[in-house]
Structure 1
Amino acid sequence: MTTPAILCPSSSSLRSSAADIQTPPPPNNIENYEPPEDAIIKIKPKAMSRLIELKQKREDAASPLILRMGVRNGGCSGLSYVMDFSTSDDIQEEDEVDTYDQEGIQCVVDAKSLLYLYGLELDYSDDLIGGGFKFFNPNAEESCGCGSSFGV
């Protein structure tokens, strides 16, 4: 298992530059992106745009970005979300894989987490406070205020 990646916007610099002010064009025509109907996890356009941005910052930007999602015991509501970068060598036979060929992204869910994550919507917010990846889970009967844990 790889070390969890920090997938929140960077706030290390408080000064703005011209690059911060200019809005770059959306990568890979993301404005036309629609998540596939049969996807296990529906990645919303803002989240996909952020994943593509993270993919382009990697040393090996030509290879697919493999995002492993799952759940583990813990958090305020009983279960918490886990989201890591992974490699193709870490994909197991029993894992479910959503492939986004055009974007160069793969989303991998282990068999145990599939029951809890099927139908989950992954979105992204670049708000200064509370920004980052957001989870909207139709299987959750309760969620904590921070949105990073849930109960069934």
Structure 2
Amino acid sequence: MSNKQIINITESAIAQIYTLSNSNQDIHIRIGIKQGGCSGMTYFMNLVKKEDIHITDEVLQYNSCKLICDSKSLLYLYGMFLDYKSSLIGGGFKFINPNATKICGCGKSFNI
């Protein structure tokens, strides 16, 4: 696992990202934060094409997939753990952020 010091990501999350990108080397996952959610900020993940990566973005390589993150979001995500659970109830990507001081019940929004 590379980029441990920036975002830690589990093997199950890497496998799901690879599946979402449909094994296409030109499709990547953008991860970041935006205003919103019940705690103030919320996480987001979007599919992006290679040409949508900005020069100021950080490109994090994890085995066969890449996470793209803008520099503002990276300040809030530094040291975060990203996991994926395939369970029917409570499944999906899990954000475990040591920088968060307040987290909503669903775990999708936080505050610092």
Q: Tell me the TM-score normalised to structure 1 length.
A: 0.68
Task: Label 1:39 to 1:89 Cα distance change in 2 as closer, same or farther (>3 A).
Answer: farther
1:50 to 2, 13, 16: 16
Residues 1:124 and 2:84 aligned together: yes
Q: Hey, what's the Cα distance between the residues in 2 that align with 1:73 and 1:37?
A: 26
Q: Which amino acid aligns with 2:45?
A: M
Structure 1: stretches of 5+ with no match in the other structure: 1-34
User: Alpha-carbon deviation of 1:52?
Assistant: 2.1
Q: Hey, what's the Cα distance between the residues in 2 that align with 1:62 and 1:48?
A: 14
Task: Label 1:97 to 1:39 Cα distance change in 2 as closer, same or farther (>3 A).
Answer: farther
Structure 2: stretches of 5+ with no match in the other structure: none
| Equivalence for 1:107 | 67
Matches within 5 A, 1:1-152: 35-38=1-4, 40-55=6-21, 58=22, 61-100=23-62, 102-103=63-64, 105-152=65-112
Q: Hey, what's the Cα distance between the residues in 1 that align with 2:80 and 2:93?
A: 12
Q: Hey, what's the Cα distance between the residues in 1 that align with 2:24 and 2:97?
A: 31
Query: Is the contact between residue 120 and residue 138 of structure 1 (CA under 8 Å) also seen in structure 2?
Result: yes
Q: Which amino acid aligns with 2:28?
A: I
Structure (1 or 2) with the larger CA radius of gyration: 1
SS of the equivalent of 2:2 reads: coil
Task: Let me know the Cα RMSD of the aligned residues.
Answer: 1.5
Q: Hey, what's the Cα distance between the residues in 1 that align with 2:6 and 2:19?
A: 22
Alignment length (residue pairs): 112
Higher relative contact order (CA 8 A, sep 6+): 2
Q: Tell me the TM-score normalised to structure 2 length.
A: 0.90
Q: Hey, what's the Cα distance between the residues in 2 that align with 1:36 and 1:123?
A: 15
Query: Is the contact between residue 64 and residue 106 of structure 1 (CA under 8 Å) also seen in structure 2?
Result: no
SS of the equivalent of 2:17 reads: helix
